[in-house]
């Protein structure tokens, strides 16, 4: 037991006490520094000498084991950590530059497939009333004239003149020339009514710009009768419409008197050409 206790004390002194050789001897300035490999050998020799002395003091005890240094060499005992500096890049960030010019527009891509129809949204609120619009412009044209005097014609072409004015809106019918002048283009309705003469032929045309449109004709008869003709015409502005007598093989005549009106010619606008 005493030998084990002495061994523990020796090991503890080897670890904690400084090197006795190094503390007692100082290097000579004139000498060269010792080789690192030679320092451990001298240290071991001094330790062996000290052990022999201790073993001589305690005679009769078993020999003690040699102490072997387990510490690292002085040059490897202390190691300093390597420091790697890190730079904060946000500190080195520069100021915001000016905006560059806008580049050219690229080509349009292909049209995608139409998606499915979405759900019907909720009904919105009623909007406010808008500003009043322009007043509706209406277009009118109408006339109705008559003749109280009979007419016997020996000429081949003669315009029928009227002496009685029933309706002549805006004076579109000229009572002196016997013609209707179109100032409002559109579709018109015209009607002609005459009374024939006994033993005389009645032969008339409704004319448009010098061309016959429809005819009103009655053969020679012992009795006088009422004849009528009507037509719808699409007129352009400045078109003319009138009634013309035509002489055939017999005398052409229409009957009337001062007390009653037997001959009438009427017309009115049905639809203005500018309306949808």
Tokens read off for 121 = 């949204």
Angle at 101 between CA 99 and CA 105, to 5 degrees: 125
Residues 78-110: pLDDT tens digits? 566 676 667 666 666 777 888 888 888 888 888
Cβ atoms 171, 184 nearer than 8 A: no
What pLDDT does 119 receive? 84
By CB atoms closer than 10 A (0-12, 13-18, 19+), residue 190 is buried
What pLDDT does 89 receive? 65
Decide which of 160 and 36 is more confident: 160
Residue 14: pLDDT above 70? no
Phi, psi for 213 (deg, rounded to 5): -105, -60
Residue 193: pLDDT above 90? yes
What pLDDT does 260 receive? 86
- Long-range (24+ apart) CB contacts under 8 A made by 257-262 are 257/148, 257/150, 258/148, 258/149, 260/148, 261/146, 261/147, 261/148, 261/164, 262/147, 262/193, 262/194, 262/195, 262/226
Cα separation, 122 vs 119, whole angstroms: 9
**What percentage of the chain has pLDDT greater than the value 70?**
64
Asked which of 52-66, 86-100, 235-249 is least confident by mean pLDDT, the reply is 52-66
Phi, psi for 48 (deg, rounded to 5): -65, -40
Tokens read off for 125 = 């609120």
What pLDDT does 134 receive? 60
Cα separation, 58 vs 62, whole angstroms: 9
What pLDDT does 198 receive? 83
Q: Where do we find the tokens 């029928």?
A: 160
Element (H, E) at 16: helix 2-16
Q: What is the mean pLDDT of the chain?
A: 77
What pLDDT does 33 receive? 46
Residue 230: pLDDT above 80? yes
Domains in the chain: boundaries: 2-22+39-76, 142-272
Cα separation, 22 vs 86, whole angstroms: 43
Domain 142-272 falls in which CATH fold? Jelly Rolls (2.60.120)
Tokens read off for 27 = 């290097």
What pLDDT does 23 receive? 43
What pLDDT does 221 receive? 80
**CA dist 266 → 6, 38, 170, 187, 225 (Å):** 157, 150, 15, 14, 20
Quick one: pLDDT band at residue 191, thresholds 50, 70, 90? very high
Mean pLDDT of the 5-20 span = 63
């Amino acid at each position: 037991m005493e030998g084990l206790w002495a061994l523990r004390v020796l090991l503890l002194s080897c670890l904690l006490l400084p090197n006795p050789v190094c503390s007692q001897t100082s290097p000579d300035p004139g000498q060269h520094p010792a080789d690192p490999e030679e320092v451990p050998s001298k240290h071991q020799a001094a330790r062996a000498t000290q052990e022999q002395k201790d073993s001589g003091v305690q005679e009769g005890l078993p020999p003690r084991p040699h102490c072997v240094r387990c510490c690292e060499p002085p040059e490897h005992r202390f190691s300093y950590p390597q420091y790697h500096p890190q730079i904060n890049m946000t500190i080195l960030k520069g100021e915001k530059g000016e905006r560059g010019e806008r580049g050219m527009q690229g080509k349009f891509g292909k049209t995608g497939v139409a998606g499915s129809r979405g759900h019907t949204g909720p009904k919105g609120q009623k909007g406010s009333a808008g500003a009043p619009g322009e007043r509706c412009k209406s277009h009118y044209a109408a006339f109705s004239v008559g003749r109280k005097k009979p007419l016997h014609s020996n000429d081949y072409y003669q315009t029928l003149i009227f002496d009685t004015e029933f309706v002549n809106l805006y004076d579109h019918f000229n009572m002196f020339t016997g013609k209707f002048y179109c100032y409002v283009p559109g579709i018109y309705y015209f009607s002609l009514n005459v009374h024939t003469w006994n033993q005389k032929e009645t032969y008339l045309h409704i004319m448009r710009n010098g061309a016959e449109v429809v005819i009103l004709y009655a053969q020679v008869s012992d009795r006088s009768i009422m004849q009528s003709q009507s037509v719808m015409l699409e007129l352009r502005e400045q078109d003319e419409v009138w009634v013309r007598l035509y002489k055939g093989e017999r005398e052409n005549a229409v009957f009337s008197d001062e007390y009653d009106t037997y001959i009438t010619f009427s017309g009115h606008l049905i639809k203005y050409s500018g309306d949808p």
